[in-house]
Structure 1
Amino acid sequence: MLEAGTNPKSTTVKRCVTNALRAFLVAVPVFMFQGMTSTAQTVEAPLPPAAKPDPNAPSVPREDQIINLLDREPEPLFSDVETSYAPTLRSLAAPDGEGLDQGALYLMAKLTQDSQPLDDGLVWRIYSDTTNANGRLELVATSMGGDAEFRLDPGSYLVHTAFGYAQSTNRVVLGKEVQSKMLTLNAGGIKFGAAMKDGEAIDQEQVTFDVYGMSFDERGERNKIVGNITPGSIIRLSADTYHVVSRYGSVNAVIRADIQVLPGKLTEATILHKAADITLKLVNERGGEAIANTTWSVLSAGGHVVVEATGAFPDFVLAEGEYEALARNNGRTYLHTFEVAPGQDREVEVVTSISELVTQGAASAN
């Protein structure tokens, strides 16, 4: 596995220890769909993400004007194809038998130029290229699965093709004839996984992934493509590089990595977290019963509030590092310093007894 990003961890004085996060990304394209090669490649460790633009900076007019969808030229990925398919001409004939009344459009799609046509997972949508009274394109027909056949009146149409989150839109001009077209999606996919760096088990139910585009908008934010992906899921995407954010729990165990999707390949990406599940308890003595109605604040080594909760057994997943647990109960405040080691889930007891606090203070002084 390759190290995808490291934040140095200092081991100096208390409250001067910074949290460290290291991401390890293993991304190996493997055989995914029919017609694809099995050549293995390794995605190298990504560079740090580009700096966000200043959200307060004055807006700059776009150099390239937004192109009206109706004025778009057909995309080169949409091409005519020879096929043995031929709809029954009688089914296209007008009732009076004077000739064809509609045209036939037969559509197929494949991942790459060299792969076989897909037989499942496609969504085809046919739109009229003129807007209705509400200023919207009218949906004429839909089909799901593999190849698709449409019987349409002569005219110009927009064909939208979706394969997961890989999408393409093309214009077709159809007369009273049969047309067969092939779409090359130039798409691949990512299969997501999560683990701990040193092989310790990780609670898969607490891990999620979000996929973003690489560019920032004028507000300094990335465009989220899909979120809340669970480990083991396969997401189909256009061939490109994506910014992936993996969260373990809901506090601060967050790992980021840039992952490349190759056309016709399945990139198997495993994010390695450095965190642990911590349960806090306020007790009168070591091993005692937890005291209810306790308000908690967990502070970072720099004194910033990381998370807050109320209860006898608050439970959090925390990134590797040093923390302080601040417990408030019955008008009194108790403070305890603890460390989080990757994969070492445990209970942290905050003791109220004076003797325990004195012992802890003497040990800290030494």
Structure 2
Amino acid sequence: MRAFLIIAAAFLIQGTVQTAQAEDIPLPRAKPDPNAPAPAQEDQIINLLDREPEPLFSDAQLPYAPTRSFDAGEGDGLGQGALYLMAKLTQDSQPLNDGLIWRIYSETTNANGKLELVATSQGGDAEFRLDPGAYLVHTAYGYAQSTNRVVIGKEIQSKMLTLNAGGIKFGAAMKDGEGIDEEQVTFDVYGMTFDERGERNKIVGNVTPGSIVRLSADTYHVVSRYGSVNAVIRADIQVLPGKLTEATILHKAADITLKLVNERGGEAIANTTWSVLSAGGHVVVEATGAFPDFVLAAGEYEALARNNGRTYLHTFEVVPGQDREVEVVTSISELASQANVLNN
């Protein structure tokens, strides 16, 4: 089905994260300078996290003035090093103040063959006391992630991550501009590549209209569903670093309620089994009850109602934005009229 999409971009102040590069920070009085130039990157390493590592931290060691004092009397504090971490959305943006999740893993695996989680922190900047050695620093911000390597000695050092990311704000409407029941609309976000089974990797599902999803700067395949039947729109949406993309998906569908009645305007007959067929004769949806309700994509359909051993057929059309009741009448005169229409 053709995708109808309205996209607008705005600057994202607290955006998303993925591709990360490390830059060393000159000696400040309180915290590292977020605008320091980035050093050359090291080679990537293979680790046992759930994704490939991003470009690594530099191993250059630069001291900084920590924001919080360390108690030298705590455990083996005198033999540990201090690591101060900050992240910003783009090269020119300000450091992020919240929404970050930092995880520190040991570089070597434990007896179970897994990386050991050493420490975690949530919010903006983070400080860690670590024994000397090599570690993997996993950074998550929304649905974007990055993994970097750092070597810790007994000194204090600081690092800045530059995160190449943005976000999408989702919206939905009817193609003619009319309103839509947003409670029945959801969005799924997929990557652009396919796996060996020919399926896309789902990044996040069941996103509701008005939600903002933070993502790495890239192009994504978005699937919007209105209802649970066949009103589905697909679109490829690009996320730009440091910006919020406002994407409004335009649907062509309507909410249809079916009724089996003895005469036009009559009471609905209970215990009715329904099948809705496409113009090509394929079953679109089935249900049982007096008032089955579906959101259907625009087009022509046939409603088959079965009750008390009899089957009744009615052809109807779904017009975008025109929610309505469709009556299937059991009277002989109505069935004869339908037969004449079908024969002609």
1:174 corresponds to 2:146:
no
The equivalent residue for 2:216 is 238
Instruction: Give distance in 1, aligned partners of 2:270 and 2:15.
Output: 61
- For each residue in 1:87-130, what CA deviation from the matched residue of structure 2 results, as whole angstroms up to 9, or x when unmatched? 6776346779xx93210000000111111100010000001111
Contact 1:92–1:102 at 8 Å: present in 2 too?
no
Counterpart secondary structure, 1:69: coil
Contact 1:124–1:162 at 8 Å: present in 2 too?
yes
The equivalent residue for 1:127 is 105
Instruction: Give distance in 1, aligned partners of 2:306 and 2:251.
Output: 31
Distance 1:84 1:67, change over 3 A: closer
> Which of residues 163, 166, 177 is equivalent to 1:188?
166
Distance 1:182 1:92, change over 3 A: farther
Corresponding letter in the other structure for 1:355: S
Instruction: Give distance in 2, aligned partners of 1:235 and 1:90.
Output: 37
Instruction: Give distance in 2, aligned partners of 1:35 and 1:359.
Output: 61
1:260 corresponds to 2:266:
no
Unmatched 5+ stretches in structure 1: 1-20, 37-65
The equivalent residue for 2:93 is 115
Instruction: Give distance in 1, aligned partners of 2:268 and 2:70.
Output: 81
Alpha-carbon distance, 1:133 to partner? 1.2
> Which of residues 10, 13, 23 is equivalent to 2:3?
23
Distance 1:296 1:81, change over 3 A: farther
Contact 1:78–1:184 at 8 Å: present in 2 too?
no
Counterpart secondary structure, 1:107: strand
Instruction: Give distance in 1, aligned partners of 2:196 and 2:53.
Output: 29
Sequence identity, in percent?
83
Instruction: Give distance in 2, aligned partners of 1:133 and 1:205.
Output: 48
Aligned length: 315
Alpha-carbon distance, 1:76 to partner? 4.0
Structure 1-normalised TM-score? 0.80
Corresponding letter in the other structure for 2:12: M
Counterpart secondary structure, 1:362: helix
Contact 2:62–2:157 at 8 Å: present in 1 too?
no
Counterpart secondary structure, 2:79: coil
The equivalent residue for 1:14 is none
Contact 1:77–1:183 at 8 Å: present in 2 too?
no
The equivalent residue for 1:91 is 71
The equivalent residue for 1:219 is 197
Unmatched 5+ stretches in structure 2: 17-43
Corresponding letter in the other structure for 1:327: A
Corresponding letter in the other structure for 2:11: F
Contact 2:222–2:234 at 8 Å: present in 1 too?
yes
Corresponding letter in the other structure for 2:321: G
The equivalent residue for 2:280 is 302
> Which of residues 153, 175, 185 is equivalent to 1:197?
175
The equivalent residue for 2:47 is 69
Instruction: Give distance in 1, aligned partners of 2:245 and 2:225.
Output: 19
Contact 1:298–1:323 at 8 Å: present in 2 too?
yes
> Which of residues 314, 319, 322 is equivalent to 1:344?
322
Distance 1:34 1:222, change over 3 A: closer
Q: How does 1:6-45 map to 2 (within 5 A)?
A: 21-33=1-13
Instruction: Give distance in 1, aligned partners of 2:248 and 2:98.
Output: 27
Distance 1:343 1:135, change over 3 A: same
Structure 2-normalised TM-score? 0.85
Instruction: Give distance in 2, aligned partners of 1:213 and 1:35.
Output: 19
Corresponding letter in the other structure for 1:32: L
The equivalent residue for 2:188 is 210
Alpha-carbon distance, 1:28 to partner? 1.3
Counterpart secondary structure, 1:250: coil
Contact 1:92–1:103 at 8 Å: present in 2 too?
no
